[in-house]
Structure 1
């Protein structure tokens, strides 16, 4: 099982939605939590349908600020508990043989003077009911000054309040990632349930916030199979694309008996050959650039 959490800084643009869709397609998460959507229920419903994560909870933004969304696929045994402008709380029931656990997406108040309200909310959530629990999202605070690089120094009292909250809510054995503003925290009870759980910070080119990726089991290497053909949207921006399709689709006199399946196959082959010649390994280059960005973020 995989969980993604990301402060996307808005899902109003097609680029932001496409970036999220690419990550979802690549990682196939069971649960997605998005912070600062800056949009309402209607648009988030459209995004959920595009991602094919049709179930979930949306907390609409206040104008052009805030907004939360938790999404999962139809058929998943995930039960909604509560929400506010700062959190979405659900229960995860993987199967009848495993214990249910809590997953809370969290957004710390952006106003430092009101952040104590967020810490009070965490304490209230802890006391609502008891089961293994993990909290993830953008806390808008760090526990120590060496967890940030650059910009203004953090207030020592603010960091101390956050440390006390984490210790009080999660207990002395709270496990954390290499904490930045975006992090995941869990007490020992949850860690015992998922001893192989791992968290990665994934650098995102369109946001200054990394995406959090939590995997509950050690991932097994996948066997490489034949690659599926995908039509690339970028091809349509080149005038030659239409010509390639027409040339492949219209048979010559000697090929007049070509069926629909044969024509589609020839279109695929010609487009792939043209893509290699004109664009080369563009997606491999993008992957390499993302890896470089990831190394700079760490």
Structure 2
């Protein structure tokens, strides 16, 4: 069993859609759980019917944000027990009869409503008859360092989340991995700039190399690469600000009440976004 859980923050735009298809293609999961899709069943099927999953549960309240998508393949024996706008509870049965209860969980993001998340987790525990696992986003923190902002989470909220996990006898599995360091890569798009050749020649022709022979060539390559990286960084991600602004407007339109005007604007912005992303792929 291979799982993907992703708070995708709106699936109704080309940028996120491309990322979703890429992740599914590369990771080949048997079960996917997506949160904050902002798509109802018709919207999801219209955009993502080509995903390699035979089964799906799509939950979306009309005229509201949020939205869950729980997908799984026929290669796994999975039965849905129940679901709401904040969870999907299923049981997976292996060939040897082993049963694992799996919950896709999306907690209330509002501080004053987080107690509903703890109550829901306690309620779901009553359906469990064996080992269980929760994937998703509680919209809560176990440790202050997990929050990537200057304002730390409230101690009372951290304590309440810990108490809820202890009450359900759940343990945080944590995360293992490493950050990628930025390395030099020649971008084909730099060749489109008229001054690229001049910049390379100037960097290569500098006479401040102390070594001789192959060592001097190695140092020239390193120096030239460093200057290319510095010079080309401005061209590597074109129209990033425009993409961000369009994304913000698309997000806002997804939250607003649907009208003919908003539909037209959404389609126009989506087309513009697609053009920028296609250009972005060249870079």
Aligned residues: 182
2:89·2:102 contact (CA, 8 Å) conserved in 1? yes
Shift of 1:47: 4.3
Which residue number corresponds to residue 18 of structure 2? 18
Equivalent runs, 1:143-162 vs 2, <5 Å: 143-162=142-161
State the alpha-carbon separation in 1 of the partners of residues 55 and 48 from structure 2: 7
Cα shift readout 1:208-265 (whole Å, capped 9, x = no counterpart): xxxxxxxxxxxxxxxxxxxxxxxxxxxxxxxxxxxxxxxxxxxxxxxxxxxxxxxxxx
Which residue number corresponds to residue 168 of structure 1? 167
State the alpha-carbon separation in 2 of the partners of residues 48 and 92 from structure 1: 24
Which residue number corresponds to residue 36 of structure 1? 36
State the alpha-carbon separation in 1 of the partners of residues 47 and 30 from structure 2: 16
Q: Which runs of 5+ in 1 are unaligned?
A: 179-198, 204-284, 287-298
Which residue number corresponds to residue 103 of structure 1? 102
State the alpha-carbon separation in 2 of the partners of residues 149 and 158 from structure 1: 16
Q: Which runs of 5+ in 2 are unaligned?
A: 181-235, 238-283
RMSD of aligned Cα (Å): 2.4
Cα shift readout 1:184-224 (whole Å, capped 9, x = no counterpart): xxxxxxxxxxxxxxx66999xxxxxxxxxxxxxxxxxxxxx
2:101·2:128 contact (CA, 8 Å) conserved in 1? no
State the alpha-carbon separation in 1 of the partners of residues 16 and 83 from structure 2: 24
Rg larger for: 2
- Output the TM-score relative to the length of structure 1: 0.57
Shift of 1:64: 5.0
Give the number of the structure whose residues are more often strand, by fraction: 1
1:38·1:62 contact (CA, 8 Å) conserved in 2? no
Give the number of the structure whose residues are more often helix, by fraction: 2
- Output the TM-score relative to the length of structure 2: 0.60
